[in-house]
Amino acid sequence: MSPNDTVQADRRHSDRFPIEREVRYRVLNKRGGDEGGDGKTLNISSSGVLFTTEHMLLPGRRMELSISWPAQLNNKCALKLVARGRVVRFEKGRAAIEIQQYEFRTASVGSAAAANPGAGRPQLVH
């Protein structure tokens, strides 16, 4: 395999980092019925997330993920990464989404906002 073949075989544009964090997700649909679940991230890049799921997530579906973030704001306030995007791949209990929009929000442990990634107002946006 030549170096050019390797570049063509891997179409990713961003480096992926093996980060395992708790994730909550919900499928965004126009009919109003939310589907959602929990899982763990397997790797994250600036353009996508690979995570585990017990549900079959069809490519093309719009989703919102809420990922517990390892860093804290001012070393005392928990953060979560809330990302929206589309499912680009699903196989064997793993789904990959392409991130189209993201923001960091403060996360309060045990609150309704932490349990529902769409609830609450953003405190810190990037």
Reading the chain (126 residues) residue by residue, the pLDDT tens digits are 445 444 444 555 678 999 999 999 999 986 766 689 999 999 999 999 999 999 999 999 999 999 999 999 999 999 999 999 999 999 999 999 999 999 999 987 554 344 444 444 444 443
In a domain, 76, yes or no: yes
Record the tokens describing residue 32, joined without a space. Answer: 């109003």
Backbone φ and ψ for 25, nearest 5 degrees, come out as -140, 160
Record the tokens describing residue 126, joined without a space. Answer: 């990037």
In a domain, 90, yes or no: yes
Domain housing 105 = 16-115
CATH of the domain at 50: 2.40.10.220
In a domain, 126, yes or no: no
In a domain, 66, yes or no: yes
Record the tokens describing residue 67, joined without a space. Answer: 């990922």
In a domain, 3, yes or no: no
The distance from CA 68 to its chain's CA centroid, rounded to whole angstroms, is 10
Sign of the C-alpha dihedral computed for residues 47, 51, 81 and 74 taken in this order:
negative
In a domain, 9, yes or no: no
Number of domains in the chain: 1
- The angle at the Cα of 33, spanning 30 to 107, to the nearest 5 degrees, equals 95
Q: Does the global pTM surpass 0.85?
A: no
